[in-house]
A and B are shown apart, each in its own frame.
Chain A
Amino acid sequence: MIHIPDFAHATTVQVIFCFLAFITVITAFLTIFSRNPIHSAIYLVICFFSIAGHYLLLNAQFLAIVHIIVYSGAIMILFLFTIMLMNLNEQRDVHRPRITRLGAIVSFCLIVIVLITIFINSKPIVGEYDSTGEDFQSIKVLGKILLNEYMVPFEFASILLLVAMIGTVLLSKKEKLNK
């Protein structure tokens, strides 16, 4: 069932996929295990870049770009600023009791096993990888769909962002305590 990549006769695409996947997983792990939050953030940026690579591999150029802009550009900068603002470093990290770690590992294993078992158990019927030939992932097509069918959600997304912006401003405003 499981498609084991045949490294000997691997195509370029397969090699790229394996490489990207490896980076993605490793950096994701490192994000979590790094003691220094800044390191975590950096690893996460790498992780996001590799995911963007996946997008490119899947021919979703627009999303790849947006992903880099939004995640690596906006979100991660926000993270870094916050970390720096709080002046967090390794000492700041609290001691984790052993039971927490154990619990985390147990649940991690459990959920991996469960999800994979489910996937295998469900015996997916993978159909033909057909191709319409049309470049449906181009900005042109995406833009049409987004502004026709998904017009209303699209507008709502903008409202959501606006609200988030206002909320953020309100939240981070310094309160005048005890006055």
Chain B
Amino acid sequence: MDNILNQIGIENYIFLSVVLFCIGIFGVLYRRNAIIVFMSIEIMLNAVNLLFVAFSTYHQDAQGQVFVFFSMAVAAAEVAVGLAILVSIFRNLGSISIDNLKNLKG
């Protein structure tokens, strides 16, 4: 069975991941809505996952996929908890703009 990367090239996956990751960062910085920020974080996670899988194929090694598997589990847990926190913030403040979260101000 042929390695699919022969036709695509690992570097393209790297570029794609980088771009995706940067979009995630951009989203985090650009938006004030906590939910969108969350989504951006998910994009970043996926960028990394994608790279893992690409390299897993490149090295012909399943370990990379195991990592992705775990990272998905963590992402799921993170989103669940994060959204729960957002809900309770929304309940208390009536808004989920991260500008309102300034209780850590020095």
Any A–B CB pair closer than 8 Å: yes
Minimal beta-carbon separation of A98 from chain B (angstroms): 12
| Complex CA–CA separation, A85 to B74 (angstroms) | 24
Q: Is the interface of A mostly helix, strand, loop or mixed?
A: helix
Minimal beta-carbon separation of A15 from chain B (angstroms): 10
| Residues in A neighbouring B18, C-beta threshold 8 A | 112, 115-116, 119
Selected from A28, A67, A124, the residue in CB contact (under 8 A) with B11 is A124
| Residues in B neighbouring A119, C-beta threshold 8 A | 11, 14-15, 18
Q: Number of B interface residues, CB 8 Å?
A: 77
Selected from B25, B32, B65, the residue in CB contact (under 8 A) with A108 is B25
| Contact surface of A with B, Cβ cutoff 8 Å | 1-3, 5, 11, 13-14, 17, 21, 24-25, 28-29, 31-32, 37, 40-41, 44, 47-48, 51, 54-55, 57-60, 62-63, 66-67, 70-71, 74-75, 78-79, 82-83, 85-86, 88, 92-94, 96, 100-101, 103-105, 107-108, 111-112, 115-116, 119, 124, 126, 129-137, 141-142, 145-146, 149-150, 153-154, 157, 160-161, 163-165, 167-169, 171-172, 174-175
